[in-house]
Structure 1
Amino acid sequence: MSRLGGYVSDLGYRAGWAGVRLLPDRWGRTAFEGAGAMVGRRNGGPQQLRRNLARVIGAERPQDVPDELVADAMRSYARYWYEAFRLPAMGLANAAASVHIADDDVARFEAEIAKGKGLIFALPHSGNWDMAGVWLINRGHRFSTVAERLEPESLFDQFVAYRESLGFEIFPLTGGEQPPFARLADRLRDGSVVCLLAERDLTRHGVPVQFFGEPTRMPAGPARLAIETGAALMPVHHFFLPDGRSQILVGESVDVSGGVEQATQAMADAFATNIAAHPADWHMLQPLWESDWSAERRARIESTG
């Protein structure tokens, strides 16, 4: 990103955080979701999103993805940004109250956290993943996560400050005092909860998996942390409900006894099941599968063996 582009983005996010809080909720939500749907319909919507959704719904070609699904996906993505801008003004209790979680899922979570070995929530980019952290904080649990470093630095600082204002503990993925893995492991050994977005690998060391029948790579971190600390690894999914609320699904703990590769594939399978059930809320607008990777990314992967 150029310096000018970074400056414009920085101003845009600052304006968003300041302005959305002043709007009546109904107006702001309608405006954001309407704009998102418009983007989803214009010229067929984002083409990479179409390619990704084609895998999810089993379409032979991206052009076979229903236009309304693309519009719904962009409406959902816009809703994520609206809620991200508005969350600091909602209040923790009000935000948490808008999240539904079934009694069985709560019991599954409480049973694992009661063991005192820590707990890893692994999530895809679905719905508003920050709501999982809001729900945890509201229940009185300590919670840590990792943030991808953005450019410009001021934009990254805004996102960190925003999430810290919600009670999250944030470790930068890169550029911190030490790599986040060791610090996350310490938090798990103390019995805390760690939340990790886990279906898109941002490093050169991802684990090869099959995802919707095609090869890609997913982060090794969730499985490695579970194996090294004894913490439970639980696939979690967040999706939007039509009445303005949302829901969190807490899956069964992944068996990590077979090693990192097997555990990561099991995590990928759980993600696929939930994404297929709620495709419009999966906000994956970037290339994910190997067949969509750029030549530069392939070269980076190959250079690491």
Structure 2
Amino acid sequence: MSIGERLVVLGYSAGWKLVRVLPERWVAAVFDFAADRAAKRHGPSTRQLRANLSRVVPQAGEEELDELVRQSLRSYARYWREAFRLPSMDLKAVYATCDSLVSGQENLDAALEQGSGAVLALPHSGNWDMAGVWLVGHSGTFATVAERLKPESLYRRFIEFRETLGFEVLPLTGGDRAPAKVLAERLRENKVVCLLADRDLTATGVPVTFFGEQTMMPAGPAHLAATTGAALLPVGLWFTEDGWVFRIHPPIRVAGTAQVAAATQALADVFAADIAAHPADWHMLQKLWLSDLPEGRQRALARRREST
């Protein structure tokens, strides 16, 4: 492990330990201060966040966009603050708080009553770990996929953290079996699969129009629904001052693999509506739209799509 990787592990370990023992108001003040500093420093990730939010709120002036970026970084800091504190929180109390703010759970219940499972597709918004705590309390363990982080010890720490919450976490790469096969099995067992679904700049991504521009989103959620008969349910997430809102939308129809592209576009449209209503809680600090990528990367993606 390199020195840089050791520092990363130490930083996360300190976060998990200190955040749980310090008073909540102190921790909140520290995380908000760090977010405000990041907004003022205007580093690469902050600049990209600003560029992304300018598509979501194109009518915003410079000062309004500055404030939106600051609030979004505070929202992202809140996600991490809560993630560090979650192992020591009363999960029954978290579930009760979330349950009072969930809308559309009848869409999930109806899908499970049909017996073919449900695919919940989420954007990088709000706090998806809290959404998972609610889901475990509502319908039991669910399966999801996690990209491997470096170093491996940090990746294992995140996996163990989420497994203690009742999640089944499958590695995107390097596992004993392909995650898509395991997810399909879980759906055929009438279980729930949760997948982050608003960014996939790879050759396997599906081209979509998102806030008026071209990007790519993962085919996985719609493809799983098409091949297993599971319901495809978009989910919106955002924060309240002291809680978490989850909106489970009605199912998107996917009648066979020929409709995967159309269903993925429909997902993008639902995500866009929720994100536009709560832009500060969308934590997209990476390049998303194809026009933001270097021309060479754009051409490479186009060639790969043409060859598949």
- TM-score bracket relative to the smaller structure: over 0.9
> Of residues 241, 247, 250 in structure 2, which corresponds to 1:249?
247
Separation (CA, whole Å) in 2 of partners of 1:221 and 1:42: 37
SS in 2 for 1:39: helix
Secondary structure class of the residue paired with 1:46: helix
Cα–Cα, structure 1 residues 43 and 186, in superposed 2: closer, same or farther, change >3 Å?
Answer: closer
Corresponding position of 1:145: 144
Counterpart secondary structure, 1:215: strand
Aligned residue for 2:131?
A: 132
Q: Give distance in 1, aligned partners of 2:2 and 2:25.
A: 35
Partner of 1:94: 93
* Cα distance in 2 for residues equivalent to 1:99 and 1:284: 23
- Which one is further off, 156-165 or 271-280? 156-165
- Change over 3 Å in CA distance of 1:300–1:164 after alignment to 2: farther
TM-superposed deviation, 1:298: 3.0
The two structures, once aligned, show a CA RMSD in angstroms of 2.0
Show the counterpart of 2:287.
287
Normalised by the length of structure 2, the TM-score is 0.92
Residue range with higher mean Cα deviation, 92-101 or 147-156: 92-101
Matching residue of 2:106 = 107
> CA contact under 8 A between 1:40 and 1:73: conserved in structure 2?
no
Distance 2:280 2:132 in 1: 22
CA–CA separation in structure 1 for the residues paired with 2:93 and 2:33: 24
Q: Aligned to 2:21, what secondary structure does the other structure show?
A: coil
Flag the 1:104–1:11 CA change in 2: closer, same or farther, 3 A. Answer: closer
- How far apart, in 1, do the equivalents of 2:302 and 2:22 lie? 49
Match of 2:268 in 1: 268
Residue 110 of structure 1 aligns to which amino acid in structure 2?
D
Map residues 92-241 of structure 1 onto 2, 5 A cutoff.
92-100=91-99, 105-201=104-200, 203-241=202-240
Aligned pairs, number: 302
Counterparts of 2:63 and 2:219 in 1: how far apart (Å)?
A: 33
Identity %: 51
Give per-residue Cα distances to partners, 1:149-168, cap 9 Å, x unaligned. 11111111111111111110
Alignment partners' CA distance in 1, 2:81 and 2:189: 34
Amino acid aligned to 1:298: Q
Q: For residues 290 and 63 of structure 2, what CA distance do their matches in structure 1 show? A: 21
Structure 1: any 5+ residue segments left out of the alignment?
A: none
Asked if the contact 2:116–2:190 (Cα under 8 Å) also holds between the matched residues in 1, the reply is: yes
1:208-231 superposed Cα distances (whole Å, 9 cap, x missing partner): 000000000000000000000000
Moved more, 87-96 or 144-153: 87-96
Contact 2:145 2:169 in 1 (8 A): yes
Q: 2: CA distance between counterparts of 1:65 and 1:303?
A: 39
Shift of 1:200: 0.7
**Offset of residue 50 of structure 1:** 0.4
2:50 and 2:69 in contact (8 A); partners too: yes
Determine the C-alpha separation between the residues in 1 that align with 2:88 and 2:71.
Answer: 26
For 1:189-222, what per-residue CA distance to the aligned partner results, in whole angstroms no more than 9, with x for missing partners? 0011000000011542100000000000000000
What is the SS of the residue equivalent to 1:99? helix
Deviation, 1:4, is: 2.0
The whole-number CA distance in structure 2 between the counterparts of 1:97 and 1:187 is: 26
- Quote how far apart the aligned CAs of 1:28 are: 1.5
CA positional deviation for 1:102: 5.2
Encode CA deviations 1:167-191: one digit per residue, 9 max, x unaligned: 1000011111122101000000001
Deviations 1:14-65 (A, max 9, x none): 111111111122222232123213322344881000000000012489x575
Partner Cα distance (2:68, 2:204) in 1: 33
Q: Is the 8 A contact 2:54 2:65 kept in 1?
A: no
1:178 match: secondary structure = coil
Check whether the contact 1:53–1:65 (CA below 8 A) recurs between aligned residues. Answer: no
CA gap 1:138/1:202 in 2 versus in 1, 3 angstroms: farther
8 Å CA contact retained: 1:220, 1:264: yes
Q: Is the 8 A contact 1:121 1:195 kept in 2?
A: yes
Tell me how far apart the structure 2 counterparts of residues 155 and 300 of structure 1 sit (CA, whole Å).
Answer: 32
Give the corresponding residue for 1:12.
Answer: 11
Long gaps (5+) in structure 2: none
* SS of structure 2 residue aligned to 1:275: helix
Distance 1:20 1:60 in 2: 35
User: What CA distance in whole angstroms lies between the structure 2 residues aligned with 1:186 and 1:9?
Assistant: 35
